Structure 1
């Protein structure tokens, strides 16, 4: 890495990261490649901030660059203060049927696959999980035996990608110059970087099940930039756990991955006691504010 700026009073260093073969070419730094990827063009509600002032960005070498900050031994990211750009329209040809969304007031059994903070988490319909697991098994069996095929990579197109030991249905969000792609897992709601060598065409037979990831926001709490403490508490509370969702609002979209629900989460795992997650989050915020 290369240190660009140091702030001794805050114990922060702003750095560029490089793959060994690219040092010290700034244009081939990981910072520049990430900055140019669509992955970071999120809505503002996904930003994390320790202070209410919110998002910071670094001006270095005459160019606004996303920087990695090393502060008190913790790794943090600062992002450009830009709202999310609308996703490019994707052809509906060969797309799975859209997942039916619940209506406001409906109850729905769900599983939280990813939780960033109360303003952004991913849910999956509980009653479709067995179908999803069966699809994943079929993809592993097929792609582990199939001969690798040349792939023409295009943004906003569907592919199968090997991440870890599993194969996932993904959409390409960005193409990096170092042979990596930024992808979005359409069934689990995760953003990942993968090598182009681990991407294969998505067969028609794997396009029948609707994409399972539904972006969600917690109802009953004020939308804000969530502190690290509140985000960690929320993640530990809900991620990879089942809940009953009571839907408050639905924001539909042409692309299934752009649809969003606003929902209450209810933990019904304990006998005779239903825990409403927004109540717990609100109480935690009060406690965190006392410590400031």
Structure 2
């Protein structure tokens, strides 16, 4: 029943009335005047395993929302003694995002009559993700971590907007009749990956009917069938792409060993952290932007853990070995 309670809380912010959906009441709480419901698209009615509740609950963000929280402490500007614990609020240093609204009124599905491949229209890209000034802090969530030289972070305060957007995309694209799409490299689409719809960049089209895509909000690379791609309509291009590539500040760029990479992943991947922005490398496309940041784990009461201090130990070991 937990999934139903979570989804009900979203009904006040998502315009579900724009879609032909079926609601099934699972439980009525007369004391709290609350209804616990399942929501279905018409074709999946009565199959709770395929309800929209379950589809959202299976997404990465729902899985981690309940056990993820940020400390009310935020590290101060980096100095020579980075192990010092700093007690200060993160609110004044947090990125304030763009304030762009999530999709409000997706248009109805296209007519089914025309089965010719549709070319992606010339639609605008979302606005750039707004970042804090250099030296300031932002609360983030690390969605992907390969090694200190490459990981992907998401601004923490806008994650709820991404969850709402993905719910909107599920409702819209699950209603759209399957229709051939003209797929082009380096173009933006919506792609179905493990029952969720993602905003993706096409990296390559393979001869076996598969397409290599990059999830612009999560930083993951996936292979999907070309039949699972749809045009990304303008209503889903309002929220800035939430995934931004980054590298760790405070350590020299190098070829990281597998052991070092595992240690780094264990400390940062799928975790909420505080990032202190050291540099921003701008690029022509938003998905090519790169941050250089210090990462700090503020979840411990005793002290803040600066990740670059941990990774510097591997550099020191190599220096001694040489």
What TM bracket, shorter-length normalisation? 0.5 to 0.7
Structure 2 spans left out of the alignment, 5+ residues: 1-120
- 8 Å CA contact retained: 1:155, 1:173: yes
Q: Which of 207, 214, 227 lines up with 1:197 in the alignment? A: 227
Q: Which of 201, 207, 224 lines up with 1:171 in the alignment? A: 201
- The question of 1:264 aligning with 2:294 is answered yes
- The question of 1:141 aligning with 2:180 is answered no
- 8 Å CA contact retained: 1:103, 1:250: no
- 8 Å CA contact retained: 2:180, 2:227: no
Q: Which residue number in structure 1 is paired with residue 48 of structure 2? A: none
Distance in 2 separating the partners of 1:189 and 1:171: 10
Distance in 1 separating the partners of 2:153 and 2:211: 24
Distance in 1 separating the partners of 2:127 and 2:279: 22
Q: Which residue number in structure 1 is paired with residue 145 of structure 2? A: 115
Q: Which of 214, 219, 236 lines up with 2:266 in the alignment? A: 236
Q: Deviations over 1:33-57 (max 9, x none)?
A: xxxxxxxxxxxxxxxxxxxxxxxxx
What SS is found at the alignment partner of 1:134? helix
Distance in 2 separating the partners of 1:195 and 1:207: 23
Distance in 1 separating the partners of 2:205 and 2:300: 46
What SS is found at the alignment partner of 1:147? coil
Q: Which residue number in structure 2 is paired with residue 213 of structure 1? A: 243
What SS is found at the alignment partner of 1:145? coil
Distance in 2 separating the partners of 1:242 and 1:207: 25
- The question of 1:226 aligning with 2:256 is answered yes
- The question of 1:273 aligning with 2:303 is answered yes
What SS is found at the alignment partner of 2:310? helix
Q: Which residue number in structure 1 is paired with residue 29 of structure 2? A: none
Q: Which residue number in structure 2 is paired with residue 61 of structure 1? A: none
Distance 1:92 1:250, change over 3 A: farther
> How big is the shift at 1:149?
2.1
> How big is the shift at 1:264?
0.2
Distance in 2 separating the partners of 1:275 and 1:135: 33
Distance in 2 separating the partners of 1:239 and 1:290: 29
- 8 Å CA contact retained: 1:98, 1:210: yes
Structure 1 spans left out of the alignment, 5+ residues: 1-90
| Larger strand proportion of the pair | 1
- 8 Å CA contact retained: 2:298, 2:304: yes
Which has the higher Rg, Structure 1 or Structure 2?
2
What SS is found at the alignment partner of 2:174? helix
Q: Which residue number in structure 2 is paired with residue 94 of structure 1? A: 124
Q: Give the TM-score, by structure 1 length.
A: 0.66
Distance in 2 separating the partners of 1:224 and 1:98: 29
> How big is the shift at 1:92?
8.3
- Give the aligned CA root-mean-square deviation in angstroms: 1.9
- 8 Å CA contact retained: 2:275, 2:294: yes
Distance in 1 separating the partners of 2:122 and 2:141: 27
- The question of 1:156 aligning with 2:186 is answered yes
Show the 5 A alignment for 1:55-74: none
Q: Give the TM-score, by structure 2 length.
A: 0.60
Q: Which of 153, 157, 165 lines up with 1:127 in the alignment? A: 157
